[in-house]
Structure 1
Amino acid sequence: MPIPVTPLFIDGQERPSSTGASFEVRNPYSNEVVGRAAAASSDDCRDAVAAASRAFAAWEQTPPVMRASIFLKAADILETAEYREKHTVAVKDELAAADAIIGGDFMGSIMSIRETAAIIAELKGDNAPSLLAGGYAVVQRRAMGVIFAISPWNAPLALSIRACIVPILCGNTVVLKSSEVTPRTQALAVEAGLPNGVLNLISTAKSEAPARVAEIIAHPAVRKINFTGGPRVGQAIAVEAARHLKPCVLELGGKAAVVVLEDADLETAAKAIVFGALLNSGQICISTERVIVQRSVAAQLLTAVKKQFSELRAGGPGCSLGPLFSEASAEHVVGLIRDAQNAGAEVLLGDGKRDGAVVQPHIVAKVTQDMKLWHNETFGPVVVFVEVDSVDEAVEKANDTEYTLMAALWTENVHTAFNVASRIRAGTININGQSVSSDSRLGGLGGPSGYGRFSVAEFTDTRNLFFHPSKPMIYPL
């Protein structure tokens, strides 16, 4: 079988790189080459921004209901057996992903389109009387222009669609950069039937990505950047954007804490913890990484979680969990575990090893706040168990992190839920639910979790129209 080649998509047309350059895409489990993708040149990036800029004037004037209808039709097409098969094959090739994340990425994409289409109802302004008698003020929400979107590999289709759909529904046009890990899967996002230039897709070789990203950010037509990914790259993007005084929406890392109080439904909490920690082998920014549980119920909860962890195996085709996306990532995970062990932590489940890019589920206890495993995002199938004596101690430990993206709280008392959840510093706190649960309101509170939301407010400008009184003013000069 020939190796699939993923082209660029600029101004409604598939095309190779202007230099003919491409890069290999490898399966993380087998290390086999499963595809090639066009490596965009500087000229290609300029062409993509220029196409988006040309399309903006007409697209901004397209009625919002028509914009939404295009996406709703795209959801219907995406839901067909043909596209499900395309998606399944691409994700298995590029990520060696397990069935759970494949289904979640696919269905999450469709649900995201249908739910987000409703935001057109928010595209409205406001009005107010003026301080001047007979005057009137109107506030409009208007599209910004060209948005540069950078989407990651870990939920490749769903996150690519999220990076584009809110800006485009608001009347903006988009240049989307895919990950070098999953270009074929992410290319499915451009098949929405949008007018030429409204959505453009580029891919780059990893070594060239910093230069291409900087060039696009610097382009005068680019008004805003949205990025989902790691804090290190997010910081570099924010610095580059700051050079040109351009705003960003950044959804970055997480170290989600799940606080389990003594009155919680422990059986259900255990299931949610396992799901939150191990879906996609923990490679989600809102994965459960820390479980903070009151001592009186800690043993019971740990037994339930440990039993479910031990029943799941990571590996290749047919396994419950897939490999990590690279051997370097796997080495990072086991390195954090080894570092904690050497400092006195206890591994309750797992061997502290990797087999290529495969890491089995791990539960680690006696992790103290001076260990890297407490503070650093693992992005792998690892959960830290911490016992506490009081609710105040649980809140203190939950907040002992720079990450603020996601948390969860388990309690049967609604008054306790309101009181405790409001003290946990996270952008989203799930009450009696798993940490891997989000919607358009997901976002961090600064630092390594990023800032901003995928919302109408973030991807529109407010324009103030001030109608002066019809009666001429008396000017002092």
Structure 2
Amino acid sequence: MSPPFTPLFIDGEWRPASTGATFDVLNPLTGEVVGTSAAASAADCAAAVDAAQRAFDGVWGATSPSARRDLVLRVADLLATEKYRDKIVEAGNAETCTTEDMLGSAWHGQIAYLRGHAGFSSIPMGETFPSAIPGGRVFMKRAPYGVVFGIAPWNAPINLTIRAIVVPILCGNTVVIKCSEDSPRTQAIVIELFEAAGLPKGVINYISTSREDAPARTAEIIAHSMVRKISFTGSDRVGRIIAMEAAKHLKPTVLELGGKSPVVILADADVPRAARAVASSTLLNSGQICMSTERVIIQRGAAPAFLDDLAAIFKQVSAGDVSTPYAGARIGALFSEASAENVVALLKDAAAEGAKILVGDASRQGPLVQPHIVTEVKPGMRIWDRESFGPVVIVAVVDTVDEAVALANASDYSLMAALWTRDIYNAFGVSEKIRSGYVNINGPTVYYEWMRSLAGLGGSSGYGYFNVDEWTQLRMSVLHSEKEPPYPVVSRLNQ
């Protein structure tokens, strides 16, 4: 049986690339071809943008907010069926070695996300107030941008594809969405859901490109005169490229990039619970989440017990084939051998600079990297400064709270953090000093309030939100007074 083929979705039709070009999609663990996908040409990308503009000018621009809400609610109802649960599990496991532990956010969580965000359609989108001109009045409204371009990654393919679409279309925009080269079939399930729910043609257009063509196709779409705004979720390296391309055309962007999430553990913390939260947020999806715990900064008094508890958990977790039965906890392969090699290189560099590997052996088996705990790590080491995107956590021991905060902030990343302490009065004061978009007090780093967008504070974590303010523009009409004022220059003329 030939592997499944994933086409493009342009102007309401599933179609191959205009050139007939395709690329193979490989299982990251076995290297087996698990699918083929259409490789969009420049003409295909232009057609997708043109279709989105027609939909914006026509059917979607004339669609009421309540109709947009109802569409999203129908998508949620479809997603809640066993049919789509099974499709997500099968495609996700084949393309990205997704584990059952990720299913909760990819399925249950997204049903709630869709239903919750459907209410955005009822948010007041305008206001009126007296003008500074005597007798005048200002009418201010929030209007959609038009065609927006979203790029969603492979590591949470359902979640992040939905996020790139839902708020923009609820605000009245139309979307061209580009998937990852590693997960086109999984991400296309989202488009299938919208189509089945009655999506008007052209409102969402789905593009896949080969890895070789991706830079050129992406730049062409960003440069298209009808594309008004861009969103990208992915690495800070690619995010910088996207930002520079957008800057050439002075187009606004929303960038959710990398994370080096710190967890600050104070001496009075619930150490066993903190260890379980850190282990979960380090190992979920093999550490391939922008919110993954990567750094732990702990006060000296709590460190020995914490390290014992954390090591005991890590030693019970194994990287392997997630599709086969296993007695303990299982994590999957990294998304490529190159990614695994990068993780191993970070570990070896750290060891050479004096860090201690408490759990793990700084090796890989193809794309498999076992869980690692590294101690005696400090800023300046690559493993401190750069996102590992693997099942690795580094630990630094400090004496004071001020030292802990300083180390938590010793990073170019600013997306997510956590703080552990039993002193709730102290917790808020300390958390406010940690430079992070989110600080979870006595909780894991892999968590954010899904009705309030996750966002970095700049640097390697990016900036911008997936909310109504971000996906609409303020526009004003001023009604001037019925009584004509004395106009400059003209009023000096004899009339």
Question: 2:187 is aligned with what amino acid?
Answer: Q
What is residue 14 of structure 1 aligned with on the other side?
14
Per the TM alignment, residue 128 of structure 1 is displaced from its structure 2 partner at its CA by 2.0
Q: CA deviation at 1:129?
A: 1.4
Q: How far apart are 1:447 and its partner, in Å?
A: 1.1
Of residues 451, 458, 479 in structure 2, which corresponds to 1:446?
Answer: 458
**AA at the equivalent of 1:443:** A
Check the 8 A contact 1:61/1:171 in 2, yes or no. Answer: no
Give how far 1:410 is off. Answer: 1.0
SS in 2 for 1:59: coil
Give the match for residue 233 of structure 2: 228
Structure 1 length normalisation: TM-score? Answer: 0.98
Two-structure CA RMSD over aligned residues (Å): 1.0
After superposition, residues 165-204 of structure 1 pair within 5 angstroms as 165-191=166-192, 192=194, 193-204=198-209
Cα distance in structure 2, aligned partners of 1:25 and 1:250: 26
Corresponding position: 1:387 with 2:397 = yes
Aligned equivalent of 2:291: 286
Kept after mapping to 2: 8 A contact 1:273/1:288: yes
- 1:309-366 Cα offsets, whole Å, 9 max, x none, are 1111111123510000000000000100000001111000001100000000000001
CA contact (8 A) 1:231 1:252 kept: yes
Corresponding residue for residue 443 of structure 2: 433
Q: CA deviation at 1:436?
A: 0.5
The Cα shift of 1:60 comes to 2.7
Q: Is the 8 A contact 1:125 1:139 kept in 2?
A: yes
Cα distance, 1:64 vs structure 2 = 1.1
Deviation by residue 1:204-246 (Cα, 9 ceiling, x = unmatched):
0000000000000011100000000001111001100011110
Correspondence for 2:222 among 212, 217, 222? 217
Match of 2:311 among 306, 309, 328: 306
Please tell me whether residue 469 in structure 1 is matched to residue 468 in structure 2: no
How far 1:123 sits from its partner (Å)?
Answer: 4.3
CA apart distance, 1:174:
0.1
**Offset from partner CA, 1:151-191 (integer Å, 9 cap, x none):** 00000011000011010100000000000000000001112
What residue in structure 2 maps to residue 418 of structure 1? 428
Task: Please say which of residues 395-404 and 96-105 is displaced more in the overlay.
Answer: 96-105
**Among 371, 382, 395, which residue is 1:361 paired with?**
371
Q: Matches of 1:417 and 1:367 in 2, distance apart?
A: 25
Displacement of 1:384: 0.4
The aligned residue for residue 472 of structure 2 is 460
* Structure 2 CA distance for aligned equivalents of residues 123 and 282 of structure 1: 39
- Structure-2 separation of matches of 1:116 and 1:352: 43
- SS of structure 2 residue aligned to 1:313: strand
Contact 1:217 1:240 in 2 (8 A): yes
2:117 aligned counterpart, secondary structure: helix
Deviation of 1:124 (Å): 1.7
2:123 and 2:270 mapped to 1: Cα distance?
A: 38
- 8 Å Cα contact 1:150/1:176 also seen in 2: yes
Find the aligned partners of 1:185 and 1:61 in 2 and give their Cα distance: 31
Runs of 5+ consecutive residues of structure 1 not aligned to the other structure? none
**Whole-angstrom CA distance in 1 between matches of 2:121 and 2:319:** 42
Alpha-carbon distance, 1:290 to partner: 0.3
Give the C-alpha shift of residue 265 in structure 1: 1.6
SS of residue matched to 2:319:
coil
Residue 92 of structure 1 aligns with which residue?
Answer: 93
Out of 319, 322, 327, the position equivalent to 2:332 is: 322
- How far is the alpha carbon of 1:50 from its aligned partner? 0.4
Partner of 1:407: 417
Tell me the residue number matched to 1:36: 36
Letter in 2 for 1:468: H
Separation (CA, whole Å) in 2 of partners of 1:226 and 1:475: 45
Alignment of 1:119-268 (within 5 A): 119-191=120-192, 192=194, 193-268=198-273
Give the counterpart letter for 2:273 in structure 1.
T
Q: State the partner residue of 1:117.
A: 118
- Aligned residue type for 2:98: A
Q: Using the alignment, how far apart are the partners of 1:385 and 1:475 within structure 2?
A: 70
User: Which residue number in structure 2 is paired with residue 342 of structure 1?
Assistant: 352
Whether the 8 Å contact between 1:152 and 1:159 is mirrored in structure 2 is yes
Counterpart CA distance in 2 for 1:337 and 1:92 is 27
Q: Is the 8 A contact 2:17 2:44 kept in 1?
A: yes
1:369-384 equivalences under 5 Å are 369-384=379-394
CA contact (8 A) 1:105 1:155 kept: yes
Tell me whether 1:272 sits opposite 2:284 in the alignment.
no
| 2:493 match | none
Shift in Å, 1:131: 1.3
